[in-house]
């Protein structure tokens, strides 16, 4: 008898937080239907170390090891046979990143892949699910803002046209570790995309994006507009501590 519902887990080791999502996936639908079983977020902020000292400190490494061991127990408790764990911006910049990945594999059996920025952007594209909110007659930018990097995917006719990754993230900004050259690379790329593909719709994700959505009192699925976002930005800027 074919089983149409399967349980999967994904672990994201980011610059700001470590997250695990467990979902049931119904494969009977035209597009796989994901139902969240549990979501856990641990705000370790690896980027605070890495973006200033280029390595994960002993203290944060211990917190990461404890978190991964806890996640491994949960995978067993949920009887999950298929999972994927990826580390992004902070771990790929950390000099001791590969060493920590090896230690995690040895202590709790979790295999972690440190992925490049381009791989991260492609993984966002391959995850799919955006077709339901896109108009095939428009072009869209999907923007994922993380703690250490920002990934952008350009869609046209619901298909990937281009993608890029930039070392621009909230933790990098808070630690003043964003290079001027990276800002210029970002501006040049965005300008070229706009000139060749405007008008553009924007779909954004990330913890800070979700926070902005809530601060503006938006309902789930309700769009943001530029004027209200700019007002919020100016208000927060005045109260910056």
Contact between 20 and 9 (Cβ < 8 Å): yes
DSSP 24-83: EEETTSSS-EEEEEEEEEE---THHHHHHHSS--HHHHHHHHHHHHHHHHHHHHTT--EE
Q: φ, ψ for residue 132 (rounded to 5)?
A: -70, -20
pLDDT in tens, 80-91: 878 999 999 999
User: Whole-model pTM?
Assistant: 0.78
pLDDT in tens, 109-166: 999 999 988 888 778 767 656 666 777 788 988 888 888 889 898 988 878 888 898 9
pLDDT in tens, 54-71: 999 999 999 999 999 999
Tell me the C-alpha distance between 170 and 176, whole Å: 10
């Amino acid at each position: 008898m074919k089983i149409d519902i399967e349980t999967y887990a994904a672990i994201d080791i980011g610059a700001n937080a470590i997250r695990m999502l467990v979902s049931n996936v119904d494969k009977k639908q035209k597009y796989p239907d994901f139902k969240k079983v549990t979501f856990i977020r641990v705000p370790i902020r690896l980027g605070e170390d890495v973006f200033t000292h280029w390595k994960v400190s002993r203290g944060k490494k211990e917190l990461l090891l404890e978190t991964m061991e806890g996640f491994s127990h949960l995978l067993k408790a949920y009887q999950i046979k298929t999972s994927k764990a990826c580390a992004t911006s902070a771990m790929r910049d950390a000099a001791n990143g590969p060493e920590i990945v090896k230690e995690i594999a040895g202590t709790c059996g979790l295999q972690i892949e440190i992925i490049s920025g381009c791989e991260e952007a492609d993984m966002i594209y391959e995850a799919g699910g955006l077709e339901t909110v896109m108009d095939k007659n428009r072009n869209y930018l999907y923007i994922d803002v993380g703690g250490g990097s920002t990934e952008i995917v350009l869609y046209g006719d619901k298909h990937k046209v281009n993608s890029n990754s930039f070392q621009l993230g909230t933790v990098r900004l808070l630690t003043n570790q964003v290079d001027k050259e990276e800002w210029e690379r970002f501006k040049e790329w965005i300008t070229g995309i706009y000139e060749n593909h405007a008008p553009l719709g924007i779909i954004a994700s990330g913890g800070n994006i979700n926070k902005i959505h809530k601060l503006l009192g938006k309902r789930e699925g309700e769009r943001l507009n530029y004027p209200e976002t700019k007002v919020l930005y100016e208000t927060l800027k005045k109260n910056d501590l």
